[in-house]
Amino acid sequence: MNTSNRIIIFDTTLRDGEQSPGVSLNMAEKLQIGRQLEKLGVDVLEAGFPVASQGDFEGVKRLADEIRGLQVAALARSSQKDIDIAWDAIKNGANPRIHVFLATSDIHLKYKLNKTREEALEIARSAVGYAAKYTSNVEFSAEDASRSDLDYLCKVFETVIDAGARTVNLPDTVGYAISWDFARIVKYVMENTSNIYKAILSVHCHNDLGLATANVLSALQMGARQVECTVNGIGERAGNTALEEVVMAIRTRKDLMSFETGIVTENITATSRLVSMLTGMMVQPNKAIVGANAFAHESGIHQDGVLKERTTYEIMDPKDIGLTSGKLVLGKHSGRHALKKHIEEMGYSITDAELDSVFVKFKQLADKKKEVFPEDIEILLSGDSVISETFRLSYLNITAGSGVRPTATIAIEINGQEIEDAVIGVGPIDAAFKAVAQLTQTKSTLDKFYINAITGGTDAQGEVSVRISENELIANGYGVDPDILTASVKAYINALNRMEHLKQKGADKKVGCMCC
C-alpha cells in the first residue's frame, strides 16, 4: 500500500477534454490554458496525442518547450511509431512523460483489437520497454480496465512495471464503475500486483453515470495516488472527473481524508472560466464548485442563515476557490497598474504585451459600462484575438421590433476582404445568422444557442454560446458584448472560425482513431 498522502493531479483538459464534441483549440489557446494550469499547480499536464495530426504534434511540442513548471505528457498507442512521435514532441520538456495505452478488456481485445490476451500482454510489454529507452517517466494505461478480468489486469500491470512503467493507470473508460465496486477493483489491484510498490497507481474516470468524482475518491481510499481529471469535467460524452470537485472534496473533508494536492485552489474559478470561454463549453449553473449557482442562496431561510453565520449553509468558503463575484473592481478612471494588479489577484498571469491589448479593451468597455466586474475582466483576458480568424465581423446593424421586419445588415472581412449584405429574417437572430451564413458561404446548422448575463444589472455583458454542425463536424462558439445581438453574431462567427480550423485539422489528420 502506498503510504504517501500526496495526490498527483494529472490534468488532461488539453487531451481528453479536447475530445469533447465541438471543442477545437488552436495553439495560442492551448498555451493560454497550459500556462493557467501551471499556475493552478497541476503536477502533470497531458498536452495531446502527437501522432493524431501535425497540428496536435506542434501543440504538444510548444507546450513542452514553453511550460517548464510541471511535467508535460504525450499520449501514444502501444506502437513504436506513436512512441517515437510522442517523444519527439516532448523531449525538450522539463520532465516529459510518455503515456502509452492499450485496451485490456475482453470486449476491446475481441472487437476492437482482434488480439488474444497473450498477444496484448506482449504488445504492452514491448511498447513500455521501448518508451523506457527514451525516459524513465513512462505511464501505462490499461484502457477499459474497469471491465477487464482482474487477474489479467494485474498481470498486465506487473509486466509493464517490470518493463519500466513508473505509473500504471486504471481507467474507467466508459464510466461503468460504481464507487464501492471500483474501490474493490483498486484494492484487488493493489493487493495482487506483486511489484505495485515500484509504481504509482492512477485512476481515470469518465462520468457517464455521474459517479466520476465518487469513484476517484473511493480509489484514493484504496491506495491510488494519481488522479486524471479535467477542468470543469469536460471530455468525451459525459466528460471526465472534474479536477475542482476532487480537489475541493479532499480539502473540505480533511476530517475523512488526509490527502494533499499541490493545487492552488484560489485559482480554480479563473481556470474554470478560461477553459469554458476558450472551449465554448459553458458550465451548467448548478455544476458543483464552479457553477454560477454553486454559492448562490435562493431561499430566504438559507440567506438568513448565511448572513448570521456563513457555515450554516456553506461548506466551502467561496474565497477558497477564488470567487470574487459581484465585487466592483475597476471603473473608467482606473489605470494600467490597477488593472494589472487586479488581474494578478484574480489568479491570472499576464505579460506586458497582453496587458497592453487588454487595457485598450478595458477602456472601451468602461466607456460603455460604468461598473467593471471581475467576470468582465475575465472575458477581456480570454481575448478573441487568440482565435485564428478566417471570418471577422466588421459591421453590424440590426433593426427589429413590433411592426418592423427584422433586418440585419452585416459586413464581414474574409481573408482581408470586406463584403456586405442585408437579410430579412423571422427575428433579429435569424436575420443576422442568415446574413453571416450567406456572406461566408457556409452551410452549418445551428444546433444550440445559449444566452446568459455575466453579471447583474441591465448593463451587464451578455455571453452567448452556440453549437453548429456541418456533415460530421461539430464546433462550439462563444461571444460576449454589452449588446446581446452583437454577442450572438460574435459567437456564431467564432464557431464558424472553429469549424474552419476543424476542417483544416481533418485534412491534416494522419490517423483516424485512437484505438488500434
Q: Which stretch binds Zn ion (CB under 5 A): 14-22, 288-296, 347-355, 499-507?
A: 14-22
Q: What is the DSSP string of 394-449?
A: EEEEEE-STTS--EEEEEEEETTEEEEEEEE-SSHHHHHHHHHHHHHT---EEEEE
- Of 12 and 276, the one with the shorter C-beta distance to Zn ion is 12
Q: Are 398 and 413 in contact (CB under 8 A)?
A: no
Q: Choose between 36 and 207: whose C-beta lies nearer to ligand KIV.
A: 207
Cell readout for 129 is 520497454
If one counts every other C-beta atom within 10 angstroms of the C-beta of residue 309, the result is 9
Residue appearing with cell numbers 442562496: 297
- Nearer to Zn ion (CB atom), residue 172 or residue 376: 172
Closest approach, Cβ 281 to ligand KIV, in A, equals: 18
For residues 214, 215, 221, 227, the Cα torsion angle rounded to the nearest 10 degrees is -100
Site for Zn ion in 345-384 (CB under 5 A): none
Q: Residue 143 touches which of Zn ion, ligand KIV, none (CB < 5 to 8 A by kind)?
A: ligand KIV
Pairing of strands 391-399, 407-414: antiparallel
Identify the burial level of 405 via C-beta atoms within 10 angstroms of its C-beta, where 0-12 means exposed, 13-18 middle and 19 or more buried: exposed
How far apart CA 379 and CA 273 sit, in angstroms, is 8
Nearer to Zn ion, 206 or 273 (CB): 206
The minimum distance between CB 206 and Zn ion, in angstroms, equals 6
Residue type at position 219: A
Residue 101 contact, options Zn ion, ligand KIV, none, Cβ 5-8 Å cut-off depending on partner type: ligand KIV
Q: How far is the CB of 46 from ligand KIV (least distance, A)?
A: 9
User: How far, rounded to the nearest angstrom, does the alpha carbon of residue 264 sit from its chain's CA centroid?
Assistant: 17
Minimal CB distance residue for Zn ion: 16
Look at residue 276 and give the partner it binds from Zn ion, ligand KIV, none, a contact being a CB closer than 5 to 8 Å depending on partner kind.
none
Q: Based on CB atoms, which residue is closest to Zn ion, 23 or 460?
A: 23
Q: How far is the CB of 156 from Zn ion (least distance, A)?
A: 18
Least distance to Zn ion from the beta carbon of 168, Å?
15
- Which of 11, 14, 16, 146 binds Zn ion (CB under 5 A)? It is 16
Least distance CB 101 / ligand KIV (angstroms): 4
173 vs 276 by CB, closer to ligand KIV:
173
CB of residue 299 to ligand KIV, shortest distance in Å: 39
Q: Does residue 143 interact with Zn ion by CB under 5 A?
A: no
Grid coordinates representing 113 are 483489437
Q: Name the β-bridge partners of 478.
A: 465
373 binds, among ligand KIV, Zn ion, none (CB under 5 to 8 A by kind): none
Shortest distance, CB of residue 508 to Zn ion, whole angstroms?
Answer: 23
* Residue with Cβ nearer ligand KIV (213 or 324): 213
- Looking at the DSSP assignment, which residues form a beta bridge with residue 138? 98
Rg (CA), the chain: 24
Q: Is 462 helix (H, G, I), strand (E, B) or coil?
A: strand
239 binds, among ligand KIV, Zn ion, none (CB under 5 to 8 A by kind): none
Question: Binding partner of residue 141 among ligand KIV, Zn ion, none, CB under 5 to 8 Å per kind?
Answer: ligand KIV
Identify each DSSP E strand in 89-196 by its residue range: 97-103, 138-143, 167-172
Chain residues in the site for ligand KIV (CB under 6 A) = 16, 101, 141, 143, 169, 171, 173, 204, 206
Q: Is 377 helix (H, G, I), strand (E, B) or coil?
A: helix
Three-state SS for 480?
A: strand
Judged by the rule CB under 5 A, the positions of this chain that interact with Zn ion are: 16
